[in-house]
Amino acid sequence: MNFEELKNQADEKWNQLNDSPTPVIRVGTAMCGHASGAFRVIQALKTLLAEKKIDAIIEEVGCIGLCYAEPLIDIKKQGKSRLFFNNVSVNNIEEIVEEYLVNNKIKNASTLGYLGKEGSVFNEPDLNTLPGIALQERIALRNAGHTAPGDIFQYIANGGYSGLNKALSTMEPSDVIEEVKNSGLRGRGGAAFPTGIKWSFLVGSPGPTKYILCNCEEGDPGAFNDKGILESDPHTLLEGLLIAGYATGASNGIVFIRHGHDGPINRTEEAIKQAKELGILGKDIFGSGFDFDIEVSLTGESYVAGEETALMEAVEGKRSMPRYRPPFPAAFGVWGKPSNINNVKSLSYAPEIISKGADWFSSIGVNKSTGTAIVCLSGDVNQPGLYEVPMGLTLQQVINDLGGGMKKDQTLKLLQTGGPLGGVLGPDSTDIHIDFDEMRAAGAIFGSGGIIVGSNKVCAVDLTRILVAFCQFESCGKCFPCRLGMEHLLEIVERISNFESQPGDMDLMKSVGGTMESGSLCGHGQLGFGPIRSAITHFEEDFRLHIEERICPTGSCNNPKIVPKNTRPYAQDFVAGVKND
């Protein structure tokens, strides 16, 4: 079946769904919805509809971005706008069904309560006025919360695979790479390397077997956008992989996901199955002569597996440990074949870049950071969520406009950005823009998009201890600067946290950190001192109080934290802190 026939079929199905006389109920079932009880709500909803003999279509969708409002459902009746209900539970679902589906009335207490003005009815146009929605410019997440990730026809009806069709029918592979280069797209996995240039490294490598690998290991506490894309709209990743494969002459794609993350795994595997059934994967795609296949590969819980050469080792069934380079992946990658490794977000931008052009994408953003940033906002803010916004927003806008400001009776003290290898910024850093280069110059990185907001109740020394403990636990141990350096840094920070510091501890940490930066094999060790350096820079007073006056400004460090080495609690502390927000 050619693309035009698929598109016509998809459009017909989509129109039938939107014009259906049967109400359509969409339920957000991404990670945030799942954690909030969305599947319990679905089960209660199905039971209730059956009891009342009400005919309705229930669709599982992804995250619209308002994670704090989950479980979030919306109901679309024929001829009416979608009506949204937030924080739905098994306790109030009957009220919603009885009032709206049966009696066609709306009780304000059931609709998007504290999101809108008191007494207002929150339908789709109203939703778009919320700062958390209005400030977004969704590209990679354009379909999230609106289409069912398990229905390939909904993806196609909303422009899906048109970028691939354009590339295969009207562009040479070199044209695709030039378009991505001209867009200014930079890798969204943390290094921010130009994506088009990275793809070009693979072009000259001999075939016929070459691999495009997608990195969805995503082990950063506080980052959940890669898996959010796979749960909400997996076909946008598959289309990006196909476009990258065509541009580089690759034959196979591998999506690398951490074992146990069932939502992203199941939805990606189902998307691959559907694409194969329609001939979008496999031989002679859209009659172009281009062949490409995709599979999912799983790894255990290993943070270092996110490093590109360690990822390839894991794909091959080995322990996740970085390789020495050279040779580089474009020459000798997975299974010894030429390979290119990209982040989920980087690949998910490609379909829209090819569809709408490089100039369109480069017009969004700021300076050399073009396009959008997908921010995972958590911590001491009122409205944590998954927000895709234009590059160039200030951290102040992220906290206040997207996050709804600080929680009651709390003031901003710090921001932890870029994951545990990122940096710690002070309250005077809120004028910094989301810009790869500006944030790096400030002593932090945007990394994979996590921004954790800390209030005046957070001790900078205690937070640093948690970050270093996580990094120490996750070191693979292959190179001694990282293996021993992380141990030493953790011992020193523990001493400071326990009011047992020794003269010269601060200088010793800087010396160890310098050795790690210059001698470690991969970014885990090279960046491992970053959180300490930035914390000392912005919170020197917190460290001074611990070292000189033996007090903690927040009381967080008043109980000694003596934990056996190589155990999990430190990492669990940090992850639990994020999940509890």
All structural domains of the chain with their residue ranges: 21-134, 160-361, 369-455, 460-579
> So what's the pLDDT on residue 567?
41
What six digits make up the tokens of 125? 């146009």
Cα torsion 80, 81, 86, 88: sign: positive
Highest-confidence segment of 96-110, 469-483, 552-566: 469-483
pLDDT tens per residue, range 148-185:
999 999 999 999 999 999 999 999 999 999 999 999 99
> So what's the pLDDT on residue 84?
87
Whether the per-residue pLDDT at 300 is higher than 80: the answer is no
Whether the per-residue pLDDT at 560 is higher than 60: the answer is no
Task: Tell which CATH architecture fits domain 460-579.
Answer: Up-down Bundle (1.20)
Confidence class for position 124, pLDDT limits 50, 70, 90: low
pLDDT tens per residue, range 26-56:
999 999 999 999 999 999 999 999 999 999 9
The domain 160-361 is placed in CATH, from the list 3.40.50.170, 1.10.287.980, 2.40.10.120, 3.40.50.11540, at 3.40.50.11540
> So what's the pLDDT on residue 447?
87
Confidence class for position 61, pLDDT limits 50, 70, 90: very high
> So what's the pLDDT on residue 86?
87
Query: For a pLDDT cut of 70, what percent of the chain falls above it?
Result: 93
Mean pLDDT of 293-320: 91
Structure letter (DSSP) for residue 328: P
Confidence class for position 127, pLDDT limits 50, 70, 90: confident
Whether the per-residue pLDDT at 121 is higher than 60: the answer is no
Q: Please give the CATH topology (third level) of the domain spanning 369-455.
A: Ubiquitin-like (UB roll) (3.10.20)
Confidence class for position 125, pLDDT limits 50, 70, 90: low
Pure H helices in 89-212: 93-96, 124-127, 131-134, 152-157, 162-170, 173-183, 195-203
User: How would you classify the pairing of strands 211-216 and 252-258?
Assistant: parallel
Contact of 135 with 402, CB cutoff 8 Å: yes
Backbone φ and ψ for 421, nearest 5 degrees, come out as -100, 10
CA–CA dist 358, 350 (Å, integer)? 10
Q: How far is CA 73 from CA 64, 85, 350, 579, in A?
A: 10, 5, 30, 22
Whether the per-residue pLDDT at 579 is higher than 50: the answer is no
Whether the per-residue pLDDT at 132 is higher than 90: the answer is no
| pTM of full prediction above 0.85 | yes
Instruction: Name the average pLDDT for the chain.
Output: 90
> So what's the pLDDT on residue 129?
77
Range with lowest mean pLDDT among 336-350, 388-402, 485-499, 551-565: 551-565
pLDDT tens per residue, range 431-454:
999 999 999 998 888 988 999 999
Whether the per-residue pLDDT at 574 is higher than 80: the answer is no
Whether the per-residue pLDDT at 116 is higher than 60: the answer is no
Confidence class for position 427, pLDDT limits 50, 70, 90: very high
Mean pLDDT of 405-410: 93
- Of 187 and 577, the one with more pLDDT: 187
- Of 403 and 99, the one with more pLDDT: 403
Using CB atoms within 10 A of its CB, is residue 63 exposed (0-12), middle (13-18) or buried (19+)?
buried
| CB neighbour list of residue 458: distance below 8 Å, 6 or more residues apart | 380, 413, 414, 554, 556
CATH of domain 21-134: 3.40.30.10
Whether the per-residue pLDDT at 146 is higher than 90: the answer is yes
Whether the per-residue pLDDT at 377 is higher than 70: the answer is yes
Torsion angle defined by CA atoms of residues 160, 161, 162 and 165, in that order, rounded to the nearest 10 degrees? -170
Closest CA to 226 of 141, 132, 312: 141
Whether the per-residue pLDDT at 464 is higher than 90: the answer is yes
Range with lowest mean pLDDT among 127-141, 204-218, 380-394, 566-580: 566-580
CA–CA dist 418, 403 (Å, integer)? 17
Residue identified by tokens 């072009």 is 203
Q: How far is CA 500 from CA 53, 474, 505, 513, in A?
A: 68, 25, 10, 20
